[in-house]
Structure 1
Amino acid sequence: MNIFLETERLVLRAFTEADVDHLLALDNDPDVMRFINGGRPTSRAAIQAQTLPRLLHDYPCFGTRGYWAAEEKAAGLFLGWFELRPLDDLNPAVAELGYRLNKAAWGNGYATEGSRALIRKGFTALGVERVTANTMAVNTGSRRVMEKAGLSFLRNFSGDWPEAIEGSEHGEVEYELTRTVWEQLP
């Protein structure tokens, strides 16, 4: 197993081709996908042709990937994934934070724990100067994770949704955390 990062309760490891079934289950839970695509199912073919290649992509400026499978450390259960990827493949300065966890993992602090660990890794080892994260304005759970991870609200904006989903009429929000602010956090 190619481990990228460990926390007290999580292992973040590189995705492999063998993760298709995990991703299929995750992306076919309507509650998990509510704020992503309105809860519509994702086909195995789409996971294999679109999702997995994105998760397996290496970023030259990081010298590693930008997406990691999240497993519960004690039992090895697949919980979902975390993202910390540069917005420019060749420049590590600005990285996007993201996460998608299965419902069984919700409410246990995993999203905050994994996000904080990735932010620390980004600022201390990957050359990141600014972390950004976006979600739908109505996604209060994700917004709370961003705040608990140290990010601050930056702006509201209207996204370009190919198909409107419930809540998209309220727009999206962007949060951020700079290295300078992070260094001053308790």
Structure 2
Amino acid sequence: MHVFLETEQLVLRPFADTDADADRLFALDNDPDVMRFINGGRPTSRRTIQAQTLPRLLHDYPCFGTRGYWAADEKDTGAFLGWFEFRPLDDHSPLVVELGYRLNKAAWGKGYATEGSRALVGKGFTDLGVERVTANTMTVNTRSRRVMEKAGLSFLRNFTGDWPEAIAGSEHGEVEYALVRADWEQRR
């Protein structure tokens, strides 16, 4: 198994186009609590996982020479916890990346999201040529907002996204957090 990044508790690895990873994603995306702030908790079909989700997670970014989505496994047990996103907004430029995460409920409240996010931010600024990290969530998603803050990102703005279907809480809009390299370097 190729390892992209290791932390004290996590191993971040590329997803594989396998039934095992498809099964893991299917279980993750079919937990209504996990998907609450993504699609209102609606189930995702196995076909959607195979035709849309997995191909998106397998995409290579030329500016990184690698992918932008990483399966997160618990280091000690190898258990699948979810995934992290650290992908360039432009395939050909590493300057601005989006940070994201989706972890199963068993992983909540254990510091995994913060630990993985901090590690990715550090790798981005030291090894990948990143100048700015951005992250978005629904305004009402206080847990995700707290992870962004703990990872060093600062609140930037509120905005109203274009939701194809409104879900509970979307009427309050979304928030954007960001961190630039110079601020990250000052805090180290």
Taking structure 1 as the reference length, the TM-score comes to 0.99
User: Which residue does 1:47 correspond to in 2?
Assistant: 49
Aligned to 1:37: 39
Gaps (5+ residues) in structure 2? none
Q: For the residues of structure 2 that align with 1:20 and 1:64, how far apart are their CA atoms?
A: 20
RMSD of aligned C-alpha atoms? 0.4
The alpha-carbon deviation at position 94 of structure 1 amounts to 0.2
Aligned equivalents of 2:152 and 2:104: distance in 1? Answer: 23
2:102 counterpart of 1:95: no
Q: How many residue pairs are counted as aligned between the two chains?
A: 186
1:17-166 mapped onto 2 (5 Å cutoff): 17-18=17-18, 19-166=21-168
How far does residue 17 in structure 1 lie from its aligned partner after superposition?
1.6
Identical counterparts, % of pairs:
81
Residues 130-151 of structure 1: per-residue CA shift (max 9 Å, x gap): 0000000000000000000000
**4+ runs deviating over 6 angstroms:** none
- Return 5+ residue gaps in structure 1 as ranges: none
Counterpart of 1:35, as a letter, is: F
TM-score by length of 2: 0.98
1:116-169 CA-to-partner distances (Å, cap 9, x unmatched) read: 000001001111000000000000000000000000000000000000000000
* Paired amino acid for 2:3: I
Alpha-carbon deviation of 1:2? 1.4
| SS of alignment partner, residue 133 of structure 2 | strand
Q: Which of 161, 179, 182 is the equivalent residue of 1:180?
A: 182
Cα distance, 1:56 vs structure 2:
0.2
